[in-house]
Chains A and B, each alone.
Chain A
Amino acid sequence: MRSPPIPEMATQEVQLNETLAHLKTESDTLKTKLEEERAKLHDVELHQVAEKVEALGQFVMKTRRTLKGHGNKVLCMDWCKDKRRIVSSSQDGKVIVWDAFTTNKEHAVTMPCTWVMACAYAPSGCAVACGGLDNKCSVYPLSLDKNENLAAKKKSVAMHTNYLSACCFTNSDMQILTSSGDGTCALWDVESGQLLQSFHGHAADVLCLDLAPSETANTFVSGGCDKKANVWDMRSGQCIQSFETHESDINSVRYYPSGDAFASGSDDATCRLYDLRADREVAIYSKESIIFGVSSVDFSLSGRLLFGGYNDYTINVWDVLKGTRVSILFGHENRVSTLRVSPDGTAFCTGSWDHTLRIWA
């Protein structure tokens, strides 16, 4: 028996819906499989393995320098490879380069926008990059002549369609990696301003990124408002691993010094450690008494200590292996917004909404 003829459009519609349903089933099956595979290898907790490791003693860490000069909230900072210079950026649109030993200001630039949320020092020490609400990342070569107008030599490199949340030079002054409120990350050629690679996968604003430590690694990790931390292949643009265990925005991500793991800090008041080879979260750093979000995290040189800057104005220092807090540091009079350990590990710097930066050692 012949069935009556059906209009072509309706047939296509039915076929598409069937394909969609089929894909949805496959997607659900794969997600379950992924969880099962990860769970199979979860044979022990990191702190259990570390039970026999000697506990850490008392730490004496104090503010050794206070850098005053910003007129509003400090949003970001970065160390120069020379281990003494620092670049910082603020809500008032100013970007300042400091000598952290003497606390002298060496350069200052006023950006055409407020909320300069990202800044980075070039590996050569000869330039800084910054950006924020202008949706761009610009590079300023640093002149030895203090009277020279830095703004005149400014080079616009990256263009996003929403705010710039983080930026970082790769191994040379020639390329910059950016993350944005537009949900993407991107790799740019500094000289030409050309987009070399874009990274799509986050479902909301990307708030932070960090480059893998090895010169050969070619990967980076990003964290976003979608509560995900994604690891990316810089050459192909592919997301190679994804982690979704935080309960709120991920404000900061930082690689463990060996490159085999990374830490994250979130508005859910926890820091977490994810191991890349085990492909899962292996530690949570939290306390019931800590209820404010973490804005930034960084490791000490050996990876044993994790420093977290919090929205309750404090810095909590965690024993990475044992999962316990070893110290809590007070000093800032408002949120800690940014935190970086110096390149030789002798100190760490924090920036705060209280307009200052502090060097701790």
Chain B
Amino acid sequence: MSSSNVATMKKAVQQLRFEASINRVKVSQAAVELQQFCLQNALQDPLLTGVSSSTNPFRPQKVCSFL
């Protein structure tokens, strides 16, 4: 029935009004902050820095062999 179409449309319009009203920042600012986060945390990122065998439980340990 037409009245339920109206109800659905009203909800959709309400949702759009809400989305249109949010505060946004410029991509340049947002991008700088994403970059800063990456760089600040780079040293603590084992997959990025390539953690050595002794500290990464998944990388093979160097095995001592008795001659």
Contacts and interface: CB of A to CB of B under 8 A. Distances in A.
Interface of A: 13, 16-17, 19-20, 23-24, 26-27, 30-31, 33-34, 37-38, 41-46, 49-50, 53, 56, 59-61, 64-65, 84, 100-101, 201, 238-242, 256-258, 260-261, 275, 277-280, 282, 300-305, 320-321, 341, 344-348, 359, 361
B45 A344 contact: no
Interface residues of B, number: 45
19 contacts: A16-B5, A16-B6, A23-B9, A27-B16, A30-B20, A49-B31, A64-B60, A238-B18, A241-B19, A258-B34, A275-B34, A278-B27, A279-B22, A301-B45, A301-B46, A302-B37, A303-B37, A303-B38, A304-B45
Contact of A42 (B13, B17, B19, B27): B27
Given A27-B13, A56-B48, 6 more contacts: A16-B5, A46-B34, A84-B57, A277-B25, A280-B24, A305-B45
B58 A347 contact: yes
Contacts of B2: 13, 16-17, 20
Majority SS of interface residues in chain B? helix
B9 A278 contact: no
B26 to A, nearest CB: 5
Closest 4 A/B residue pairs (Cβ):
A302-B41, A302-B45, A30-B16, A278-B30
Given A43-B26, A277-B30, A361 B13 contact: no
A85 B34 CA distance: 31
A30 B17 CA distance: 7
B56 A321 contact: no
Given A41-B27, A277-B30, A239 B15 contact: yes
B52 to A, nearest CB: 11
B38 A302 contact: yes
A278 B57 contact: no
Contacts of A303: 34, 37-38, 41
A63 B28 CA distance: 38
B67 interface: no
Contacts of A30: 13, 16-17, 20
Contacts of A201: 15
A301 to B, nearest CB: 4
B10 to A, nearest CB: 6
Given A261-B34, A303-B34, A346-B58, A275 B27 contact: yes
